[in-house]
Structure 1
Amino acid sequence: MSSSAAGAGIGNRNLRDYLLAALAVLPGTRQFHLHVLVSSPRKCTTIFPFAKPRPPRVYVQDILVILSEEPVKDESNANAPATATATEKKDDNEPGNADESATPASSSRVIVTATEAAVYNIPHTSSAIFYVSKVDSSGQASAPSPTAALVRALLKYYVDPATRPVDAEHLWVQLFARAQSQYLFPDSADFEGKKPLSDTKLCAWWKRVLTRVVADVMSDKEKVQEKEMDVKMYYILPGYSEEEAEHTLRIAATTPLPDSTLQWKYGHPYSQANIPLPCPPPSEGPNLGHYIPSFDDDPKSRFIDEIAYTTDGEIKSPQRKRAKTEESSSSRTRGGTRGQEQNAEGPLGELGKVSADEFWERMSFRQECVAGAVTGFFTVIATCKRGGAECGESQRGVVSSQVNKRVLTTLTGVEFSTVERARKATETVEAAIKGLCEGIPGESGRKTPEPSVRLLEVPRTPPRGKRKMEEMISPNPFPEPVGSVEGYLSDIYGSVITRNAAVEKRESSGGYVRVLNVRRKIKK
Structure 2
Amino acid sequence: MSAQIPSLRSYLTDALSTLPGSSQLDLYTLITPTRKHTSLFPYTSLPTSSRAKILQQEILILVSQSPIDPNRAVFVSGIEAVLYTIPSNAASILYISKVDSTGQTVEGCGSPTGPLVKAFIDYFIRPETRPTRNVRVQLFARAQSQYIFPDSSLHSGKRVLTDVKLCWWWKDVLTTVVRRQGLDRVDDPKAEVTERKCYYLFPGLSQVEADRMLSYAGGVDKVAPPTGNRPIWTYGHPYSTTHTPLYSALNSPPELATDSNDTDIFDLIPTFSDDPKARFLVELAATSKRPEASYTGGNGDGPPLKKRQRSERLPSPSPPQTISQADPGIDEAAVSSSPESTKQMRSAVTAEEFWERMGFRQECTLNAVTGFFIVDLFDPSPLSHHPSATTTSEHLPDKAPLSHSTTTTIPVPMLARISSSLQNLDFGSTERAIEATKVLTESIKGLCGGLSGEGENEGGSFYKEHVVASIVLHNPPRLAKFHKQESGTNGGTGGQVNTAVSAPVNMLQVRKKKRPAAS
CA contact (8 A) 1:238 1:369 kept: yes
Q: Does residue 25 of the first structure (1) align with residue 21 of the second (2)?
A: no
Instruction: Give 1:42-441 correspondences, 5 Å limit.
Output: 42-52=35-45, 53-54=47-48, 55-72=51-68, 106-142=70-106, 143-164=109-130, 166=131, 168-220=132-184, 221-223=186-188, 226-253=191-218, 256-257=221-222, 260=227, 261-273=230-242, 275-279=243-247, 283-284=254-255, 286-311=263-288, 318=295, 320-322=305-307, 331-332=316-317, 334=330, 336-341=332-337, 344-347=340-343, 351-384=346-379, 386=386, 388=388, 394-395=404-405, 397-439=408-450
Query: Which residue number in structure 2 is paired with residue 467 of structure 1?
Result: none
Task: Note the C-alpha offset of 1:286.
Answer: 2.7
CA contact (8 A) 1:309 1:348 kept: no
CA contact (8 A) 1:218 1:224 kept: no
Task: Note the C-alpha offset of 1:225.
Answer: 5.4
Superposition TM-score, scaled by structure 2 size: 0.76
Q: Secondary structure at the match of 1:431?
A: helix
Query: Which residue number in structure 1 is paired with residue 324 of structure 2?
Result: none
Distance 1:170 1:437 in 2: 33
Task: Note the C-alpha offset of 1:520.
Answer: 7.2
Superposition TM-score, scaled by structure 1 size: 0.76
Distance 2:191 2:103 in 1: 42
Q: How many residues align?
A: 437
Distance 1:70 1:361 in 2: 47
- 1:266 to 1:238, Cα distance in 2 relative to 1, 3 A: same
Map Cα deviations across residues 202-244 of structure 1 (whole Å, 9 max, x no partner). Answer: 1111111111111111112154753111111000111111111
CA contact (8 A) 1:30 1:497 kept: yes
Identify which range, 424-433 or 59-68, moves more after superposition.
424-433
- 1:427 to 1:263, Cα distance in 2 relative to 1, 3 A: same
CA contact (8 A) 2:86 2:245 kept: no
- 1:286 to 1:436, Cα distance in 2 relative to 1, 3 A: same
Task: Note the C-alpha offset of 1:390.
Answer: 8.8
Counterpart of 1:110, as a letter, is: V
Runs of at least 5 residues in structure 2 that lack an aligned partner in the other structure: 256-261, 296-303, 319-329, 453-458, 482-498
Task: Note the C-alpha offset of 1:439.
Answer: 2.9
- 1:362 to 1:48, Cα distance in 2 relative to 1, 3 A: same
Identify which range, 426-435 or 328-337, moves more after superposition.
328-337
Q: Secondary structure at the match of 1:227?
A: coil
Q: Secondary structure at the match of 2:500?
A: coil
Query: Which residue number in structure 2 is paired with residue 79 of structure 1?
Result: none
Q: Secondary structure at the match of 1:13?
A: coil
Distance 1:317 1:160 in 2: 41
Runs of at least 5 residues in structure 1 that lack an aligned partner in the other structure: 1-8, 74-105, 441-447, 449-483
Task: Note the C-alpha offset of 1:191.
Answer: 1.3
Task: Note the C-alpha offset of 1:503.
Answer: 2.0
Counterpart of 1:265, as a letter, is: T
Q: Does residue 496 of the first structure (1) align with residue 471 of the second (2)?
A: yes
Q: Secondary structure at the match of 2:64?
A: strand
Task: Note the C-alpha offset of 1:332.
Answer: 4.0
Distance 2:172 2:438 in 1: 33
Q: Does residue 486 of the first structure (1) align with residue 451 of the second (2)?
A: no
Task: Note the C-alpha offset of 1:510.
Answer: 4.2
Counterpart of 2:78, as a letter, is: A
Counterpart of 1:14, as a letter, is: S
CA contact (8 A) 1:235 1:376 kept: yes
Task: Note the C-alpha offset of 1:352.
Answer: 2.2
Counterpart of 1:195, as a letter, is: R
Counterpart of 1:163, as a letter, is: T
- 1:347 to 1:198, Cα distance in 2 relative to 1, 3 A: farther
Distance 1:401 1:354 in 2: 37
Q: Secondary structure at the match of 1:209?
A: helix
- 1:505 to 1:257, Cα distance in 2 relative to 1, 3 A: same
Map Cα deviations across residues 11-47 of structure 1 (whole Å, 9 max, x no partner). Answer: 5421111101000001101110011011100000011
Task: Note the C-alpha offset of 1:322.
Answer: 3.7
Query: Which residue number in structure 2 is paired with residue 95 of structure 1?
Result: none
Identical amino acids, percent of aligned pairs = 36
Task: Note the C-alpha offset of 1:360.
Answer: 0.7
CA contact (8 A) 2:196 2:231 kept: no
Map Cα deviations across residues 129-150 of structure 1 (whole Å, 9 max, x no partner). Answer: 0000000001111342110100
